[in-house]
Amino acid sequence: MELLKLLTDYSESGAYPMHMPGHKRNPAFLQIPNPSAVDITEIHGFDNLHAAEGVLKQSMDRAAALWGARKSHFLVNGSSSGILAALSALLPVGGTVAIDRSAHKSAYHAIELRSLTPHYLCRPIDPETGVFGSLSPDELERVLSAHPEVGAVFITSPTYEGVVSDIRSLSKVAHSHGAFLIVDEAHGAHLGFSSAFPRSAVTGGADIVVQSLHKTLPTFTQSAILHICSRRVQEEKIAKFLSYYQTTSPSYLMMAGMDACVSLLIRQSGELFDAYMNRLNRFRERTAGLAHIRPLSGDSPVMFGFDPGKLYFSLRNTTLTGETFGQILREEFQIEPEMTTADGCLCMTSIADTDEGFDRLAAAVMAIDARLGETSPASRSAATALPELPEMVFTPAEAAEYQCETVPLYESVGRIAGEFVWAYPPDIPLLVPGERIDSGLIAAFTALQESGVRLHSDSEGMAETVRVLEY
């Protein structure tokens, strides 16, 4: 079947999108006339993204004023291009980075491309839900004190599940050690527009913040933005590396969508976010009596803050896996979730959601909860627990210089990984090239896959084989 027909059939199927993009296929929030009529290239009068001085510069300047940044750049290759540019601009080749181990794989790609040495920042795990908590300033202080050569800190806030870290305190720690702070706020472009939501890292002390507008705001998929927030950043270096990592033929449809989103927020952010918060509050009130399914609320002692727009349902105390829960939503209630994990399911919301969408999800969750019985939480909690961080024998760039061989997964214990292994979504590596594979890691891979989590590797050999270094 042709892709366009498949997309059209799906849009007409009645399935409700509890997933990105943030426009939620709601025509009231993102309208473009006949696409072919306005799809152009950099012709006279329409500016150049890589040397903006006209309409695109004006649009990006309005975005910077809206979010409170010193300068903002539209990204047409998603947040990944902004992350690559930020790490490349702020660190020299061969530099050192303190990086959130839960970072998106694009940050790891920058580490390999720029021959960086990573030192990992680890998060606590909420024992009730298995979700990673906030990155603590004490953990950052520990790593930076042990590695004074670190030139930049890279963290993710909010996480996929909506967990927010204390950016103000983290920035003070990073800057006290002379390091830049880069925040992957891909899931937080909507933060800061209402007091009911956490503060954005843009005004929280970060040096660079990268946001995926398309994840939580009404723009086209792949639309993102990079904000320069401090005077410590050399703007010309950011512009240079953005020209490396972005296409020279940016989509004007995409940029028009971003411009329209900025205009919408300038005009109506107050009323839109008030209505959005009312829907979220009504949803939480309706589902407050759940007996078995536990919605993540951010009340854990290991969480500094929480984005109420993320609806993550923990299933640790139930007989369901996240994959099964997602399948029920999809097949019985025509709701498509964003992500399923071994122990939970994530539904993403935005200002473009409707009352009907929230009501449908509330009814579905309550119906599933009513038919559930409890089981021992220890059995699946233990089965899906992640092991300690693998030993880093080589940096990713060093590992890339070796020849690799493919071996059965069960024969890889003790060998050095030659490829990434990650769960998709959210594209967070479980194994990085250059790390030693141990039996605990293999056991975790097996348990995750048995719970319905999809694991991928560069060679797509999971779960039978893995690429290891020949040395």
SS (H, E, C) 60-129: HHHHHHHHCCCEEEEECCHHHHHHHHHHHHHCCCCCEEEEECCCCHHHHHHHHHCCCEEEEECCCECCCC
Nearest alpha carbon to residue 241 among 95, 371, 381, 77: 77
Q: What is the mean pLDDT of the chain?
A: 94
> Which pLDDT belongs to residue 377?
45
Q: Measured between alpha carbons, how far is 244 from 250 in angstroms, rounded to an integer? A: 13
CB count, 10 Å around CB of 274? 12
On the question of pLDDT at 31 being above 60, the answer is yes
Using DSSP, state whether 390 is helix, strand or coil. Answer: coil
pLDDT tens, residue by residue, 72-86: 999 999 999 999 999
Confidence class of residue 374 from pLDDT cuts 50, 70 and 90? low
Residue type, 137: P
On the question of pLDDT at 383 being above 50, the answer is no
The residue ranges of every structural domain in the chain are: 3-21+270-381, 35-263, 386-469
Q: Which helix (H) or strand (E) holds 237?
A: helix 235-245
Q: Which CATH architecture has domain 35-263?
A: 3-Layer(aba) Sandwich (3.40)
Can you give the length of the chain in residues?
471
Mean pLDDT throughout 440-464? 86
Q: Measured between alpha carbons, how far is 321 from 216 in angstroms, rounded to an integer? A: 26
Handedness of CA 441, 446, 449, 454 (dihedral sign): positive
Confidence class of residue 375 from pLDDT cuts 50, 70 and 90? low
Q: Euclidean distance between the first and final Cα of the chain, in Å?
A: 46
pLDDT tens, residue by residue, 290-302: 999 999 999 999 9
Q: How buried is residue 406: exposed, middle or buried, by Cβ count under 10 Å (0-12/13-18/19+)? A: middle
How much of the chain exceeds pLDDT 70, in percent? 97
Confidence class of residue 463 from pLDDT cuts 50, 70 and 90? confident
On the question of pLDDT at 382 being above 80, the answer is no
pLDDT tens, residue by residue, 236-246: 999 999 999 99
> Which pLDDT belongs to residue 385?
57
CA dihedral 328→332→336→342, nearest 10 degrees, is: 0
Whether residue 27 has a cis bond before it, omega within 30° of 0: no
pLDDT tens, residue by residue, 111-166: 999 999 999 999 999 999 989 999 999 999 999 999 999 999 999 999 999 999 99
Q: Measured between alpha carbons, how far is 115 from 400 in angstroms, rounded to an integer? A: 10
Mean pLDDT throughout 19-48? 93
> Model pTM?
0.96
User: Do 272 and 286 meet the contact criterion of CB atoms below 8 Å apart?
Assistant: no
CATH 3.90.100.10 applies to domain 386-469: yes
Mean pLDDT throughout 357-363? 98
Q: CB-based contacts of 382: which residues, under 8 Å, 6+ apart? A: none
pLDDT tens, residue by residue, 300-357: 999 999 999 999 999 998 999 999 999 999 999 999 999 999 899 999 999 999 999 9
CATH 3.90.1150.150 applies to domain 3-21+270-381: yes
pLDDT tens, residue by residue, 246-264: 999 999 999 999 999 999 9
> Which pLDDT belongs to residue 34?
87
Tokens of 155: 């963290």
